[in-house]
């Protein structure tokens, strides 16, 4: 029997056996973990190929077009501009009440009534009629510091800066007055702005628009015209907006982004695999602040907001 001793495991203490079992289990777990990690990494690489760098550095035939309200700025620029004009006695409470009704009807009905829209445009333009363009530009600079500077979305600004760093031009495209949009673009270091143009003669506002407010399809036409003048390839350009009204503009470019999108734009973007970015707390669908009446142009949105502000203060 002694000759068979080598077949019999040597007796070890319970403690030694426990240590051996523990070490073996730990080693096996470590190896298993490494194997699983390798498989997961391989699967992730296969499922999600790395996206090419965008924007492309040095691509001078590309540019970026940013909507303003609720895309670059929290709320509507015209709302903040209207607050500043009301503070400076540009219009009276009876005008505020009128604008507020038009804005409230627009928001509740969800459609743009042609008569209401025309009335709102005429009323808004009457406020600036007779004032010098230079005067409104100076006031606009002050209003930016008072109400707008702290309402720029950091995330969207970073996107714009990425295009600038890549050597590309960046434009605001908005229904807000072009003077207001130009001030904001300059303060943010952007290339320039496309906005609604109010007619002026010898530097004085006439109370008329040049064409129609830059809204919806008009934005797409403005982008198309600017791209042709600048020698841009729209398939290599990017556009950013929060509103389904800007789908025509977003559809023009090769890189459309839905930023803080409303319900209709979110659905449209997901269906077409557009990129989405949402910088709102809790991904709220409701827009921040009081939105401008989307085709009203000049000042209607701002005056409606000023009514609410005046009532809260009282």
The residues annotated as belonging to the active site are 67, 69
Cα of 144 vs its chain's centroid, Å: 18
């Amino acid at each position: 029997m002694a000759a068979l001793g080598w077949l019999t495991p040597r007796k070890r203490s319970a403690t030694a056996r426990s240590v051996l079992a523990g070490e073996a289990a730990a080693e096996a777990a470590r190896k298993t973990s490494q194997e699983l990690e390798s498989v997961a990494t391989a699967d992730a690489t296969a499922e999600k190929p790395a996206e090419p760098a965008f924007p492309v550095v040095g691509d001078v035939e590309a540019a970026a077009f940013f909507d303003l309200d609720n895309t670059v700025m929290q709320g509507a620029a015209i709302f903040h501009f209207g607050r500043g004009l009301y503070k400076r006695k540009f219009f009276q409470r009876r005008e505020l009440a009128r604008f507020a009704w038009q804005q409230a009807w627009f928001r509740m009905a969800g459609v743009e009534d042609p008569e209401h829209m025309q009335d709102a445009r005429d009323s808004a333009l009457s406020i600036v009629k007779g004032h010098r363009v230079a005067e409104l530009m100076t006031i606009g600079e002050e209003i930016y510091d008072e109400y707008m500077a702290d309402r720029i979305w950091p995330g969207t600004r970073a996107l714009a800066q990425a295009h600038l760093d890549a050597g590309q031009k960046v434009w605001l495209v908005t229904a807000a007055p072009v003077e207001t949009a130009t001030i904001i673009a300059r303060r943010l270091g952007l290339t320039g702005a496309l906005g609604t143009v109010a007619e002026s003669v010898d530097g004085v506002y006439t109370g008329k628009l040049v064409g129609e407010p830059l809204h919806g399809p008009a934005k797409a036409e403005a982008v198309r015209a600017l791209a042709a003048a600048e020698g841009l390839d729209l398939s290599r350009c990017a556009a950013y907006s929060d509103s389904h009204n800007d789908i025509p503009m977003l559809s023009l470019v090769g890189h459309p982004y839905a930023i803080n999108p409303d319900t209709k734009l979110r659905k449209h973007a997901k269906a077409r695999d557009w990129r989405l970015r949402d910088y709102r707390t809790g991904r709220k669908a409701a827009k921040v602040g009081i939105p401008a009446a989307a085709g009203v142009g000049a000042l209607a949105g701002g005056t409606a907001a000023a009514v609410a502000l005046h009532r809260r203060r009282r």
